[in-house]
Chain A
Amino acid sequence: MQFWVAQTLNSLAFGGLLFLLSSGFSLIFGLMRLANLTHGALFMLGAYIGAYLMRAFPGTSLWMAALASGIAVAVFGGLLERFVLRRLAGNALGQVLLTLGIAFIISDGCLLVFGGDPIPLSTPRWLARPVFLWGFIFPAYRLAVVVLAVCAALGLHILLDRTRLGAMIRAGVDDMAMARAVGIPVSAIFTLVFCLGSAIAGAGGVLAGPILSAYPGLDGDMLPLALIVVILGGVGSITGAFVGSFIIGAIYTFGIALLPDLAYVILFLPMILVIAIRPNGLFGRMAV
């Protein structure tokens, strides 16, 4: 019984981390029709920046590190969009190659600077102790990750659904040319959304640190999962990214625990089903 409870919480925490990665990926994909293959690398970069900050400035809390790293990665993402990706607007193949190339550069750069050994990020002390509830043991930090992911989802939901800026972003997703033609500053909104998605990924990488550690290959492990989440949930949909993240988090966690040899089969099977039956994903309006 403890096994199931523990794995359930693990899967929820992993789903929460996936959401921090895939929400930005989905927003960027939906608005800019751009599969940003750098997104996994931004997550890893975030984790490494957090690890560096906590090592270089002892006393830096994980939260401070997540905040600082989120800002740094947002700036990086904004510059990337503004000065590099924008030149390739409309050139899908070019964008795929470029974002993939930048992902490789980031991961080699991290390897060069931080070396090949995993760097665990320390859990905040007050969350390091397990919590006992109803006779079961819960790692407190994983609970906190779930709570944070839910808060991020609520924040994004309010931004997108309740504000004028959010309506402008959705208008751009619906019909970009028309959005420009009614005077919505679509280019500025692109940069903003890219910064936002990068920030969440960067901060998410730091929050993943105590669970996954910062290690070479973190980007490549996470990116395919984000892709599956977005295909499952639907491009550009925050609700879809949220639901998809927890579904994939559960399938992945239980798959590895129960059928380690088949984990990837179990993971990709639902994606194939979804593409066959609902090509727009569970909550999406746009074909991938």
Chain B
Amino acid sequence: MATDALTLDNVHAFYGDSHVLQGVSLAVPQGQVLGLLGRNGVGKTTCISTVAGMVKARGGSIYLGDRRIEALGSETISRAGIGLVPQGRRVFPSLTVQENLSVARRGAKPRWTIQTVFELFPRLQERRRQLAGWLSGGEQQMLAIGRALMGNPTVLLMDEPSEGLAPLIIAEVGRTITRLRDEGMSILLVEQNIRLALELADHIVIMSAGRCVFSGGVEDVRSQPDLIETHLGVAARRPEH
């Protein structure tokens, strides 16, 4: 069996005394999208931040391919090949669009350069001299994705990329994710938009109170409406709606 792109094994994390991740285990297979779902506050962002090294794991292990990374700093983790598209986008507001991309540039013969990111998101090229703080939410999301790609990662962590965006822009972000996946990128995707997650993901993990309570295929989720109702807090609807 080939190693998964990213593996979390019994990961624990705390904020002060509050035990937020209570033994999370999941795996993102090579070239696939793992959708991580769960209600507000269950620890999805903490899970992503722990992988990115912004929150220290206090137990368990995290592997990028077969390299253990949970003890590394976030600079090193980024250089090891993890790209982060954080919740709330967090572009650098006082840098221009182009500077946001250039500070994250890395790699000798990279797939992703400022030029190829501009090809992916032509809108960013038009605004390349504009301060990122003045971009619209959708443009900031594209910039956050582009910035993560500039590090030429093997695994992309995306934390609610559809949050607060208009439907047309969500569709565009969705197409981008599919395109990246088709190019072989492995993606850990946190989403509150369940329809979008089911559409994009190959695999679903559901978290509740700091633990993974479900792991399975997209069809398993679709065929168990009560699962969605219990853990995701929305009335079970046909996903097509």
Contacts and interface: CB of A to CB of B under 8 A. Distances in A.
A30 to B, nearest CB: 11
A81 interface: no
Central interface residue in B52, B103, B147, by most chain A CB within 10 Å: B103
A252 B74 CA distance: 46
Contacts of A179: 92, 103
B102 A182 contact: no
B181 interface: no
B93 interface: yes
A158 interface: no
B92 A170 contact: yes
A180 B52 CA distance: 10
Interface stretch (A47-55, A92-100, A183-191, A270-278): A183-191
Given A167-B103, A182-B148, A185-B75, A177 B54 contact: yes
Contact of A167 (B52, B74, B95, B106): B95
A285 B94 CA distance: 9
B92 A180 contact: no
A180 B73 contact: yes
B161 interface: no
A180 B75 contact: yes
B7 interface: no
Nearest to A164: B102
Contacts of B77: 181
A33 to B, nearest CB: 16
Interface in B95-147: 95, 99-100, 102-106, 147
Contacts of A178: 86, 90, 92
B101 to A, nearest CB: 10
A285 B92 CA distance: 13
Given A167-B95, A175-B92, A181 B106 contact: no
A249 B200 CA distance: 61
- Mostly, the A contact residues are helix
A202 B69 CA distance: 41
B95 A180 contact: no
Contacts of A167: 95, 99, 102-103
Contacts of A173: 94
B151 interface: yes
Central interface residue in B90, B147, B151, by most chain A CB within 10 Å: B90
A101 B102 CA distance: 40
Interface string A148-185: 00000000000000001001101101110111111111
- Mostly, the B contact residues are loop
A182 B104 contact: yes
Interface string B58-84: 000000000000000111011100001
A182 B84 contact: yes
A171 B84 contact: no
Contact of B147 (A164, A182, A187, A285): A182
A175 B132 CA distance: 13
Contacts of B79: 183
Contacts of A168: 103
Nearest to B86: A178
B53 interface: yes
Contacts of A182: 78, 84, 103-104, 147-148, 150-151
A74 to B, nearest CB: 24
A169 B73 CA distance: 19
A177 B90 CA distance: 10
Contacts of B100: 171
Given A170-B95, A174-B95, A184 B74 contact: no
A196 B79 CA distance: 26
Interface in A175-227: 175, 177-187
10 contacts: A167-B99, A170-B94, A174-B92, A181-B84, A181-B86, A182-B148, A182-B150, A183-B104, A183-B106, A185-B75
Given A178-B92, A181-B53, 20 more contacts: A164-B102, A167-B102, A170-B99, A171-B100, A171-B103, A173-B94, A174-B92, A174-B93, A177-B54, A177-B74, A179-B103, A180-B54, A180-B78, A181-B77, A181-B84, A182-B78, A182-B104, A183-B79, A184-B104, A186-B75
9 closest A-B pairs by CB = A183-B78, A167-B99, A182-B104, A174-B92, A180-B74, A171-B92, A178-B90, A181-B74, A180-B75
Interface of B: 52-54, 73-75, 77-79, 84, 86, 90, 92-95, 99-100, 102-106, 147-148, 150-151
